[in-house]
């Protein structure tokens, strides 16, 4: 079922069936945008509850998209929502979820071990030609891909979307050491078919956006910890003084404090190996306390701010 795209100048592979792993903030958004653009999507998570959570995120966001697209025309809005939802199936059995996948996009928890376990398992289940991609924020694509066979490593790249996926236009496409040109071209092609703008990134910590954004957000937390300013004043300052749509604390809550904490933990290990400056990723007691209390940001109802 994998065909060459006849009209495409680059040697990319035609992708029709897409499987997304992780039905959280990012996986739901990726599945939604793919389904809006005609891909057949399987959304897979470990529990039925998590799959339902993903579908709820999609329904809510699709409501916004449809409202804007059809200016309140109820029949057309409903028809569109039905059509997009019709392109999405959920599945908890990971092996079954990839049985006819042309492309897998992984958006599960930011843990190298869990990602490697999943990809190692999928390597034996997906077709030989299936392309694997990770939406990791901060981990090395090469390190994740090494859980797979050498042939698969050539068909493995990074596809990094931004939150909220339906609204953010950028996708960072990462060509790791072993990623083939055909795989890279296919990932760029899929990105464009999803209506997004690709940028080319090397397999460096945080690629482009997070290499700048994560140290900035962590320094904002340290600023509040030092008592230099309150989170609210720092947010107001960056929104009104630097024109950012959200200040760093609103953005931390939006991204998820657990995710940010996983990223900085992973980077502290990289800092120990000299791959990233240590001072950028110093541990923050304030951030850790919120995570320990289960205050993970918007998705849990509370973080630096209260959303209940
Ligand atoms: N689903 C669908 N559409 C959405 C949406 C969603 N969940 N959220 C926002 N939108 C759309 C709105 O419909 C609206 O569209 P139009 O302009 O075409 O009307 C547009 O986005 C703007 O939304 P709003 O007017 O409701 O609100 P806003 O102007 O406050 O924008 C925002 C909301 C886009 C989230 C904006 O606040 C923003 O850009 N925030 C910063 C987000 C950011 O930096 N994300 C990156 C996080 S880092 C990351 O993702 C990488 C990582 O690895 C951690
Ligand atoms: P999330 O916590 O909202 O969702 C993660 C989902 O993965 C959960 O539903 C969980 O049940 C599921 N999961 C965990 N292990 C799994 C497994 N083995 N198989 C299938 N599903 C599994 O997290 P998120 O914010 O969507 O982040 C997901 C990935 O995307 C992470 O790698 C993160 O770094 C990256 N990312 C996050 C953002 C962001 O702003 N939150 C932006 C870009 C990239």
Q: Which residues, 6 or more positions from 279, have their beta carbon under 8 angstroms from its beta carbon? A: none
Q: Is 262 in the pocket of ligand 1 (CB under 6 A)?
A: no
Question: Beta strands 170-174 and 156-161: pairing type?
Answer: antiparallel
Q: Is 106 in the pocket of ligand 2 (CB under 6 A)?
A: no
Instruction: Report the alpha-carbon distance of residue 24 to residue 255 in Å, rounded.
Output: 11
Ligand 1 center–CA 164 separation, angstroms: 5
Mutating to test ligand 1, I would choose from 69, 167, 263 the residue with most ligand atoms within 8 A of its C-beta, which is: 167
Q: What is the pLDDT of residues 255-265, one digit of tens each?
A: 999 999 999 99
Q: Is 261 in the pocket of ligand 2 (CB under 6 A)?
A: no
Q: What is the pLDDT of residues 124-148, one digit of tens each?
A: 999 999 999 999 999 999 999 999 9
Closest atom of ligand 1 relative to the 256 alpha carbon: 54
DSSP state of 205: T
Question: Beta strands 88-91 and 40-44: pairing type?
Answer: parallel
Nearest to residue 261, comparing CAs of 140, 109, 141, 46? 109
pLDDT exceeds cutoff 60 at 77:
yes
Q: Is 110 in the pocket of ligand 2 (CB under 6 A)?
A: yes
Mutating to test ligand 1, I would choose from 164, 207, 215 the residue with most ligand atoms within 8 A of its C-beta, which is: 164
User: Which residues form the catalytic set?
Assistant: 137, 160, 172, 210
Q: What is the pLDDT of residues 43-60, one digit of tens each?
A: 999 999 999 999 999 999
pLDDT of residue 275: 87
- ipTM above threshold 0.95: yes
Q: How many percent of the chain have pLDDT more than 70? A: 97
Are 163 and 255 in contact, with CB atoms under 8 Å apart? Answer: yes
pLDDT, average across residues 59-81: 94
What predicted TM-score, i.e. pTM, was given to this entire model?
A: 0.95
């Amino acid at each position: 079922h994998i065909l060459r795209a006849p009209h495409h100048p680059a040697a990319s592979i035609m992708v029709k069936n897409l499987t997304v792993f992780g039905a959280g903030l990012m996986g739901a958004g990726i599945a939604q945008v793919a389904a809006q653009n005609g891909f057949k999507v399987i959304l897979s998570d470990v529990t039925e509850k998590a799959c339902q959570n993903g579908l709820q995120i999609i329904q809510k966001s699709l409501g916004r998209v449809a409202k804007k697209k059809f200016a309140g025309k109820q029949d057309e809005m409903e028809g569109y929502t039905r059509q997009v939802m019709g392109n999405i199936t959920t599945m908890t059995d990971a092996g079954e979820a990839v049985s006819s996948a042309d492309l897998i996009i992984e958006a599960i928890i930011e843990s190298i071990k869990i990602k490697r376990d999943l990809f190692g398992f999928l390597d034996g289940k997906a077709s030989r030609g299936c392309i694997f991609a990770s939406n990791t924020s901060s981990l090395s694509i090469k390190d994740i891909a090494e859980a797979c066979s050498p042939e698969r490593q050539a068909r493995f790249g990074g596809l990094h979307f931004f939150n909220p996926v339906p609204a953010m236009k950028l996708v960072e496409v990462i060509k790791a050491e072993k990623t083939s040109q055909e795989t890279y071209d296919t990932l760029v092609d899929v990105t464009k078919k999803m209506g997004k703008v690709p940028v080319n990134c090397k397999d460096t910590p945080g690629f482009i956006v997070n290499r700048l954004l994560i140290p900035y957000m962590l320094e904002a937390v340290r600023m509040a910890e030092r008592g230099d300013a309150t989170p609210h004043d720092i947010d107001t300052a960056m929104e009104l003084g630097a024109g950012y749509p959200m200040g760093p604390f609103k953005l931390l809550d939006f991204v998820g404090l657990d995710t940010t904490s996983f990223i900085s933990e992973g980077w502290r290990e990289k800092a120990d190996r000299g791959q990233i400056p240590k001072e950028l990723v110093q541990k923050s007691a304030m951030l850790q306390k919120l995570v320990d209390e289960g205050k993970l940001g918007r998705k849990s109802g509370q973080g630096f701010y209260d959303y209940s």
